[in-house]
Amino acid sequence: MWGILATDPRIKSRLFGAFALTAGLGLAGCSDLDNALFGDETDNGGASAASSDQFPPATAPGAAGTLPAAPATAATGSAPVIAITPVTIEPGANTGTAVSATIATMRSQLSTLEEHVASNAARLTELRNQGADAARSYQEAKANITTRLQVGTTRGNPELVAQWNIAQSALDAIATNINNMNALGATIATDSSSAHFALNQIQSTYSVSGAVDEDHRQLRVLEDETNQTIVLIDRLLSSASEDTQRQTAYAANERANLTTLAAAIKNGELYGSDLGSPAVASAGGAMSASTLAYAGTPLVVIRFDHPGVDYQQILYAALSQALQARPNAGFSVVAVSPTRGSAAAVQLAQTSAKNHAQEVLRSMTDMGVPATRLAVASATDPSATSSEVRVFVR
């Protein structure tokens, strides 16, 4: 039942209102915008303005489904390359023991993970470039519209409507890019789980009877390589999550700006201040534990003390209740890790808690909470026995 509630757009609209902006729903194309804002209208002189039926289709010049090339702008810049260098896996000699055969299997699995790291890094760079291209096309079309409106133009100018359609297509391309980024994030999260499982296997193999000294030396090397791989995967996962949140906030903000431009085109004059200047709020900003003191009792505490924790139902109900009481509420997602054990164990616990926090953050976004109302932080708690995620209302 709750799985249906989390994805049904009718229920999401009822619970989260106008700000239910998920990557697949809230960023959908404004297909009815022409009819709503560019409909038939008779001006004061009795002349009929251009109707929406006369507007060109929402496609850019060139090949179908492609966006026009545009020069880079100061607002968007160029997408940075993801600098990820996969770990080189050291080969090991077969000592003839059963432990040596297990090590060879784990080494092969780690090599496959390294291939995934390289592939995912290349895919993330590709998606970043596609998002930057779409943003440049959008900004160029919007600049053309605002420039013409600033100096004055006719009501319902078909040339400006054509530019508006290009801008809409560019925003639709950004929405598609966000969906692809979400899918990539899920793939990287799966690799992260595999890497942590591999690390647990390696550490457990130390206690297996029948090993020689060379086997344990190879295990130590393999353990180091796995830890390095986990760091790379975590970096990729963080980059993908931040990009998704940033693009989601940008697209939602510009969708509203595009609606305002549609009304301006209809009337032939620019309204309000420069629509390209509003700052887009950034989700996922770093916060220290001390800044969260005001938050009080957490809305939800999710303890990840066993695999496959099913928290979505409780989280959805708590968010729904909080938003009914405070429709404009924001949320802080805090990754809490224990401080027990060795320094390595504490570090691994912190990594695990951060991964779980990103998972909860994606779940909240899927439920309809805008990324602009979410922030992520990390903290430690000596009383915690396992990694936790605490959600606070702010």
Model pLDDT for residues 37-52, shown as the tens digit of each residue: 444 444 444 333 333 3
Give the contacts of 182 (CB within 8 A, at least 6 positions apart): 23, 244, 362
Structure tokens at 139: 């900004």
Task: Check whether residue 204 and residue 311 sit in a common domain.
Answer: no
Task: Check whether residue 212 and residue 341 sit in a common domain.
Answer: no
Model pLDDT for residues 14-44, shown as the tens digit of each residue: 333 333 333 333 334 333 434 434 444 444 4
Residue 393 counted as domain residue: yes
Task: Check whether residue 234 and residue 163 sit in a common domain.
Answer: yes
Residue ranges in the chain assigned as alpha helix (H): 2-7, 9-16, 33-37, 98-151, 158-205, 213-267, 312-325, 343-366
pLDDT score at 266: 83
Residue 26 counted as domain residue: no
Last residue in a domain, options 241, 260, 280: 280
Tell me the residue type at 21.
L
Average pLDDT, rounded, for the chain: 75
Task: Check whether residue 124 and residue 273 sit in a common domain.
Answer: yes
| Tally of structural domains, the chain | 2
Residue 25 counted as domain residue: no
Strand partners, 173: none
Model pLDDT for residues 182-234, shown as the tens digit of each residue: 999 999 999 989 999 999 999 999 998 999 999 999 999 999 999 999 999 98
Give the contacts of 244 (CB within 8 A, at least 6 positions apart): 23, 178, 181, 182, 185, 365, 371
Tokens 């850019």 identify what position? 60
Task: Check whether residue 195 and residue 321 sit in a common domain.
Answer: no
Cβ proximity of 53 and 38 under 8 Å: no
Cβ proximity of 346 and 337 under 8 Å: yes
Range of the domain at 142: 31-280
Task: Check whether residue 219 and residue 320 sit in a common domain.
Answer: no
Task: Check whether residue 256 and residue 118 sit in a common domain.
Answer: yes
Last residue in a domain, options 215, 245, 280: 280
Task: Check whether residue 291 and residue 165 sit in a common domain.
Answer: no
Task: Check whether residue 103 and residue 161 sit in a common domain.
Answer: yes
Give the contacts of 255 (CB within 8 A, at least 6 positions apart): 27, 30, 171
User: Which of 49-58, 83-92, 216-225 has the least mean pLDDT?
Assistant: 49-58
Q: How far is CA 137 from CA 5, 41, 70, 172, in A?
A: 36, 30, 6, 12
Last residue in a domain, options 238, 255, 280: 280
Residue 249 counted as domain residue: yes
Task: Check whether residue 263 and residue 335 sit in a common domain.
Answer: no
Task: Check whether residue 150 and residue 44 sit in a common domain.
Answer: yes
Euclidean distance between CA atoms 141 and 130, whole angstroms: 17
Task: Check whether residue 261 and residue 299 sit in a common domain.
Answer: no
Cβ proximity of 355 and 234 under 8 Å: yes
Structure tokens at 112: 């496959």
* 388-393 sheet: strands from edge to edge: 300-303, 388-393, 331-337, 374-380
Residue 326, domain CATH: 3.30.1330
